Amino acid sequence: MIYFFCRTRLTNNSYLCTLKRLNMNRRKFLIHLILIALCLIVLQPIAAYAQGSKKPLKCTVPAYLKQGDKVALITPSYYGSMENTRKAAKVLRSWGFKPVIGPNVGRKHLTHYAGTAEERLADLRWALNDPDIKAVVCMRGGYGTLHLAEELPLQEMASSPKWIIGYSDITTLLNMENSAGVMGIHGVMGCNIGGRGGADLSCTLVRDLLKGQVPRYELPANELNIPGSATGTLVGGNLATFVPLLGTQADAVGNTDIILFVEEVEETYHNIDRLFNILKINGVLAHCKGVILGDFTDCNNDVGYESVEAMLREYIAPYNIPMLCGFPAGHEKVNLPLVMGAPVTLDVRADGATLTFDMPGKQKTLRTEGLRPPQTDKPELDASQFVNIADVVPDAILEIRYYGTYNFVGQRIDGYEQPTALMTKRAADSLKAVSDDVMRLGYRLKIYDAYRPQMAVDHFVRWAADITDTLMRQYFYPEVDKSLLFEQLYIMEKSGHTRGSTVDLTLFDMSTEKDVDMGGTFDWFGEESHPDFGGNPETGVYNGNPSPAGRTITEKQFRNRQILREAMLRHGFKPLDSEWWHFTLKDEPFPDTYFEFPVKELK
């Protein structure tokens, strides 16, 4: 019938001629008129959306938080462990808030989901409907919030405005909240806050924003920027997450007068192009006032453009609107918070750009230039500033685990060509001072690993991605889900070892000719490896508190860890908060350089 309607509209003949040709009677004519009217009713919203007839988005600012306010921790996407949730809760408590954990956090459904869609929705509703909860921190992304997009009436978000914080897959919730007329925060999640101790800039900016301090960003020039000035409502997020929301109740980017923010991770260029073309076809770009491009992390260039920004610039340039490239938000360690749903002013100039949030709160200007170390295309191959540890610390014992097969992978690791240990000369000299110190106490240093080439780190990443390879699980990670090694920061794509001034070591007792009992083995994945397990390493006070698995260490084992720690700290090394054996020289000579040459004796 739609086809008939179109044909009769396009022809120059009158309805009477058409009816005569089709030999219709009066009754059929009336039926056709009714069906035509129904078609118009059905098609009108679609046509209206395509023409961009939505109104400008106006969002409420949720109340800023004060001391003692409750903050909920939930897992609306992929599974997040209770251990990581407790870490995030500890940080939130240190910020002056009262963390409360969702009733279904820790549940798991199928391979990756944090419980069923019903359980995840129940936790979201629990957080939204509790009037004492003032903010909702999502523990991690992944996938799964799309299941909730049409299940939660937007009125439930609008009736009790509160900050929802997250990024990546949490883009769905942020767009739902914006569509409900409430602002949200695109920023670090619970796993980031807990894993970093809440101390880095991306975390502290979220903390300060929750307390009412609104950032104003000043950004450096970028050759792909399109100059101009615009005001509008900031919407968007992860491209692959918000594009499927077009035409739904959660469609925030379909409104007029928007400033569109876009970031992406691990997508091909051609898929990014497809998604952006969908935005163009649906009229989204036509009612943009400006565009902010964030990070495009690990995106595969399969179409030949110089960059994602260069590709998207071709879409945006014809609209004569400002475009800002390189805003540090997305799937990188520096992930600056953005208030989604806020009115903003974007000013892009030849010498730089500013992004201002036109909302209540105390403004604080932040210059983003230099927040990230310069990235080189290739790892450094020059070993001229490195030494053999055995030459500088001849009393050290070398037990290089990654040269052999007794390690968490179960095979020799790429790049370990000889069972030796290398370090920068500056770090090795400091390690010699540590060795002299502990020798006076009757100990020698035993070294498990020092400099680690990038190819070895890449080997770890490949191993972690293969969740079926659990050969050494019983020895190193019996209680850790291998699919969570990246989330729980046991495995990362960059390592301090690769910069050449980090060492993994223990103590060897010269009187007993045995390793000193530290109450745990090197490379054990679990809380038992944390320096604060069993006591406070800062004060040296032992408490004997058990792990979730019921394990503990004795006071003697805790004291043994302290002997190593205190000797390393005395001579310029800093500890890692998750491994009692891991130390990095504070004044490392190559803080931004990752080396690639293999581990073998230097001539």
Known catalytic residues are 579
Q: Which amino acid is at 145?
A: T
Compute CA 122 distance to the chain's CA centroid, rounded to the nearest angstrom: 24
Burial class (CB within 10 angstroms; exposed 0-12, middle 13-18, buried 19+) of 351: exposed
b/e string for 364-394 if b means 16 or more Cβ within 10 A? eeeebeeeeeeeeeebbeebeebbbbbebbe
Alpha-helix runs per DSSP H in 551-600: 555-570
Could you identify the residue written with the tokens 């770009």? 285
Task: Calculate ∠ Cα 305-306-307, nearest 5°.
Answer: 90
H/E stretch holding 490 reads none
Query: How is residue 587 annotated by DSSP?
Result: T
Could you identify the residue written with the tokens 């902010």? 292
Concatenated DSSP letters of 374-404: PPPSS-B---TTEEEHHHH-TT-EE--GGGS
* Three-state DSSP state, 286: helix
450 Cβ partners below 8 Å, 6+ apart? Answer: 389, 421, 422, 423, 497, 502, 503, 504
Sheet holding 228-238, edge to edge: 323-324, 288-297, 258-265, 228-238, 343-349, 352-357, 213-219, 362-367
* Residue 202 contacts residue 336 (beta carbons within 8 Å): yes
Concatenated DSSP letters of 241-284: HHGGGTTSTT--TTSBSEEEEEEEES-BHHHHHHHHHHHHHTTT
User: Which residue in 321, 314, 352 sits closest to 219, CA to CA?
Assistant: 352
